Structure 1
Amino acid sequence: MSDLACFPPVATPDARILILGSMPGQASLNAGQYYAHPRNAFWPIVGELLGFSPDLPYPQRLQLLQAAGIALWDVIAACERSGSLDAAIVPDSIRANDFAAFFAVHREIRDVFFNGAAAEQAFRRHVAPRLSLAGLSFRRLPSTSPAHAAQGFAQKLAAWSVIPGLPKGSDSV
C-alpha cells in the first residue's frame, strides 16, 4: 500500500474548462505526467479534438491544452492505493484538493468534466458538500483509462467532443 500525492493543476487564470481525473495511476506517477500510460486514451482524444499529435512532447501538449482554455487536475490530492486502479484506493485515506482556492483563482471556469465515474464520485463526496458551486456545470465523460474497455476509442471520442468551444472530432467518426 502506497501513500500517493497528485500533481499540481495545469491551468492558466483564464481557463474556461476543467477536466478532472481521480488520482494519477502508477505509470503517470512514475513519469511525472498526467495520463502517461501508453494505452490511456486521454492524449489521443484531446489531440484529435484540438488538432495536435498525441506524440508531441509533454510540455507542448500541456501548452496546447492551456491555449484551448482547458485546465487539468485531479480530485484527490492524496490517498493510499496499491496498484493503479481507482477501486484500490482506500476510501478513508482520501484527501481532496483545495477546490475553493482553485476556483477563487480560476474564475472563468464554467464547465467541469469528469474523466470517468471515480472522479465524479470523489468530487461529489469529498468536494461538493463543502463548496458553493453556483454557475458551474458538471458532466461525466467516459474514462480514458485502459481499464474502462466498455467503450472503444470512437465512442469515447464522440462523448468527449461535447466539450464546448472545441472542434468536433466526432464528425469524422
Structure 2
Amino acid sequence: MTDKEVRLQGLPPVVNEACKTLVLGSMPGALSLSKQEYYGHPRNHFWPLIYKLYGGGASPNDQYGERLAFVLKHKIALWDVLGTCVREGSLDADIREPEENDFAAFFRDYPAVERVFFNGQAAEQLYRKRVLPGLQEIGLGKELRYRTFPSSSPARTMTLDAKLAIWCELADN
C-alpha cells in the first residue's frame, strides 16, 4: 500500500431475523461508499431489478431507507463478501489486500438465511475462495443454496431486461 492509498471499509449488513435470502456483492464501488448506500450508483441496475421483481414499480423510490425497508419486507438481506480492501476506483479487478466479512457469525446470528445469491462472478469467486472453506471447517454453509447472477453494475454491459430474465429466480421463494 502506498502513502496515498487507503484501506476501504465496506458497509454493514442490511438484515433482520426474517431474512431468507442473502444477496452478496464483492465490495461497494467508490460512489456507493461515499454515499454509504448499497448500489448507490444511479446506473446500477440492482434497485430497478428488485422493484420490478417484487412489484414495486419500474423504478425504486429515491429514499434509501425506503429501499432498505423494501428488501427487508421481502426477506432479502444485503452484504458484501469483503469487509475491507485496497482499491483505486470501483472495479473488482483492482481489489488488493482483501479481507472478508465474518460469515460464521452472520450465519449463526441469522439462521433463517437459506439462499445466497451472488451479484456477479467476482463476489462468487471471492466467497468460494476466501469464505466457504472456513465455513465448511466449522460445519456451516452446506445447507445453503447458492446461485450467481450477472452483476447489476453499470460496468456489466447487459440490458436491464436481460438481467431481469436471470435475476427472476430471486423472487422464487
Please list every run of 5 or more consecutive structure 2 residues that lacks an aligned counterpart in the other structure.
Answer: none
Do residues 95 (structure 1) and 99 (structure 2) align?
A: yes
Following the alignment from structure 1 to structure 2, what is the Cα–Cα distance between the partners of residues 28 and 94? Answer: 18
Q: Pick from 56, 60, 67 the counterpart of residue 73 of structure 2.
A: 67
**Residue number in structure 2 paired with 1:111:** 115
**Residue number in structure 1 paired with 2:167:** 160
8 A Cα contact 1:35 1:43, kept in partner: yes
- Please list, as runs of the form range in 1=range in 2, the aligned pairs for 1:145-156 lying within 5 A after superposition: 145-149=153-157, 151-156=158-163
Following the alignment from structure 1 to structure 2, what is the Cα–Cα distance between the partners of residues 74 and 101? Answer: 14
Following the alignment from structure 2 to structure 1, what is the Cα–Cα distance between the partners of residues 20 and 89? Answer: 33
TM-score, normalized by length of structure 2? 0.91
Moved more, 48-57 or 110-119: 48-57
Aligned residue pairs total 163
**Residue number in structure 2 paired with 1:142:** 150
| 1:94 partner SS | strand
| 1:162 partner SS | helix
Identity, % of aligned pairs? 45
Following the alignment from structure 1 to structure 2, what is the Cα–Cα distance between the partners of residues 116 and 39? Answer: 16
Displacement of 1:133: 1.3
Please list every run of 5 or more consecutive structure 1 residues that lacks an aligned counterpart in the other structure.
Answer: 167-173
Displacement of 1:42: 0.3
| 2:127 partner SS | helix
Query: Deviation above 4 Å: which 4+ runs of structure 1?
Result: none
Following the alignment from structure 2 to structure 1, what is the Cα–Cα distance between the partners of residues 62 and 41? Answer: 15
Following the alignment from structure 2 to structure 1, what is the Cα–Cα distance between the partners of residues 134 and 43? Answer: 35
8 A Cα contact 1:15 1:66, kept in partner: yes
TM-score, normalized by length of structure 1? 0.91
Following the alignment from structure 2 to structure 1, what is the Cα–Cα distance between the partners of residues 171 and 115? Answer: 8
